Chains A and B, each alone.
Chain A
């Protein structure tokens, strides 16, 4: 599986698959420029589901309305620019008033031990980070709440 195939599956899984359990992912951009970084994919979502009339009323009464996002960035598997990418996402979250984001870093091959360690030791609360090895299907994630949560939604290899 190459990166594009994986991103298509991820996009589909977020919009139509298990991603709907966590948020209503509605809009997807490919090659999305943000500051100096061009993300492979950016999918935005709201946590308030739409549904038909009664579902909408129920959601309006019971669910807070905040926005979330999923970014994918495959151009830097060694994570040399990780802090710049995270800063870009943090700035975006603050500016657009998004609550949290996932950063998925897919790669056709193993990540270095240093890269894995960097991700596991990253402690940004509002950004969950995951390294996805497309060959071995191994996922390494950050230890924040969103980092732990995101794994089951980005595991879409079939």
Chain B
């Protein structure tokens, strides 16, 4: 079974960025409530960056880090620490290539029953177009 789980820098940057904004707003809000003033300086910004880095990394590992495994029988996709989604190729009826914006692509699997599953091909470092054809071949082989 092949497995890919590279660092997905876009998702990591998004997580750290969101934490940075939240921590900054919380710091400014707390300062205003307690001191009626804002304390902003390099030590504060560095502390904010450090907290955002740790928080963003934790959030990324918990929610976003994608790990994908597949072989001739089926595939397994896990995002963060959520339970993995397991699909067998014979249960798939359609495969499509989805542009998620900013040049990022996913391969969408439509099962015969249930909801579709998006494999974040670009995030996983796979070539989306080639990977789409590989999945189509795997599904056809089991049809």
Chain B residues whose CB sits within 8 angstroms of the CB of A8 once the complex forms: 129
Pick the contact of A27 from B97, B129, B133 — CB < 8 Å?
A: B97
Interface residue B98 (Cβ < 8 Å from any Cβ of A): yes
Partner of A30, one of B98, B101, B136: B136
Contact present for A27 and B136 (CB under 8 Å): no
CA distance A51 to B101 in the complex (A): 8
Q: A26 contacts the other chain (Cβ, under 8 Å)?
A: yes
Known A30-B132, A31-B136; 4 more pairs at CB < 8 Å: A11-B129, A27-B97, A29-B95, A30-B136
Residues on B facing A (Cβ under 8 Å): 94-99, 101, 103, 108, 129, 132-133, 136
> What is the bound-complex CA distance between A27 and B99, given in angstroms?
6
Given that A8-B129, A30-B136 are known contacts, is A25 also in contact with B99, CB under 8 Å in the complex? yes
B103 touches A27 (CB 8 A): no
Q: Residue on B with the closest CB to A45? A: B99
A31: chain B residues at CB < 8 Å are 136
* CB<8 Å pairs between A and B, sample of 27: A8-B129, A11-B97, A11-B129, A15-B99, A16-B99, A16-B103, A25-B99, A26-B98, A26-B99, A27-B96, A27-B97, A27-B98, A27-B99, A27-B108, A28-B96, A28-B97, A28-B98, A29-B94, A29-B95, A29-B96, A30-B132, A30-B133, A30-B136, A31-B136, A32-B94, A50-B101, A51-B101
Query: Which residues in B have their C-beta under 8 angstroms from that of A15?
Result: 99
Question: What are the 5 tightest A-B residue pairs by CB atom distance, in nearest-first order?
Answer: A15-B99, A28-B97, A29-B96, A26-B99, A27-B98
Q: How many Å lie between the Cα of A50 and that of B101 in the bound state?
A: 8
Q: Which residues of A contact B (CB under 8 A)?
A: 8, 11, 15-16, 25-32, 50-51
Tell me, rounded to whole Å, the shortest Cβ–Cβ distance linking A49 to chain B.
9
A131 to chain B minimum Cβ distance, whole angstroms, is 25
Inter-chain contacts of A27 with B (CB < 8 A): 96-99, 108
**For residue A32, which residues in chain B have a CB less than 8 angstroms away from its CB?**
94
Q: CB-CB < 8 A to B98: which residues of A?
A: 26-28
How distant is B127 from chain A, measured CB to nearest CB, in Å?
12
> Which residue of B is nearest A50, CB measured?
B101
CB distance from B131 to the nearest CB of A (A): 13
- Assembled-state Cα–Cα distance A46/B96 (Å): 16
CA A51 to CA B100, docked complex, whole Å = 10
CB distance from A56 to the nearest CB of B (A): 11
Which A residues lie within 8 Å of B99 (CB)? 15-16, 25-27
Docked complex Cα distance between A29 and B132 (Å): 10
Q: How far is the CA of A79 from the CA of B73 in the complex (A)?
A: 40
Residues of B close to A16: CB separation below 8 A? 99, 103
> How distant is the Cα of A25 from the Cα of B94 in the complex, in angstroms?
18
A30 cross-chain contacts in B, Cβ below 8 A: 132-133, 136
Shortest beta-carbon distance, A107 to chain B, in Å? 22
